[in-house]
Amino acid sequence: MAHRDELTKPILPGRGATDYERYLRTDELLALQKPPEELLHKDEMTFLVVHQSSELLLKGAAFELGRAVEAIEHADYGNATRLIRRAMQLLDPPIGLLHILETITPCDYHVIRAGLGHGSGLDSPGFLSLLHIGPRLGHVFHEQLGRAGLTVGDLYRRHQEFFGLHDVAECLLDFDERMQLFRFHHLKLAERIIGGRVVGTMGTPVEVLQQRMESWLYKDLWDVRNQITSAANQTQAGRQ
């Protein structure tokens, strides 16, 4: 049996006293926040940690959605939905993390904001990568729909026959809904902290955040519900 000292000795290359620290590169990761003496306000640590954690989680979500694009291309719908569901689990925490920032008071936030320069969430690499992957997912889904000779309406009417592709459609809807939820909670956060009738750090009015809530990734997947309901209403009316 190996001696305990030998098992705890790091064997991976890199900095850090243990393999845990080396593998996760915790030295670098934990040096990415301002040291306490440089913080403009003590609440800035929370502001930094929430933003950096969100970027990591959004990166993870976009990575899994990229894998889902490939899976849909190969008609591997089981794997695609597994990966999209995982991506949604990665997306939920950044939505929750937004609420932590509601604990920063509007006055204290302005002390932190003074150090942001022109920094704006509009340049969030994580969110931008989701905005990039969204249409690609929609594109490969529609390609498969076309190959099967189906419209979105057909897919929803014949969902039992095309279970895999229908499940993909529902997962896309989950993704679209998460994007809306992020935007909604973020809008409320911005309204709470800086107000709803001001401009952001890049000169963008906060009202723009409201307008962005109206942009859907997969409008046809939302619309199909209206079609199904009006068809059902007509059938019902015909019976009366």
Contacting positions for ligand HEM (CB under 6 A): 50-51, 54, 94, 98, 101, 109, 120-122, 124, 127, 183, 186, 189-190, 193-194, 200-202, 204, 206, 209, 212
Residues in contact with 44: Cβ distance below 8 Å, sequence separation at least 6, in sequence order: 34, 111, 112, 115
Question: Could you tell me which residues come within 8 angstroms of residue 166 by beta carbon, excluding any fewer than 6 positions away?
Answer: 155, 156, 159
Rounded to whole angstroms, how far apart are CA atoms 149 and 23?
48
Using only C-alpha atoms, what is the Rg of the chain? 23
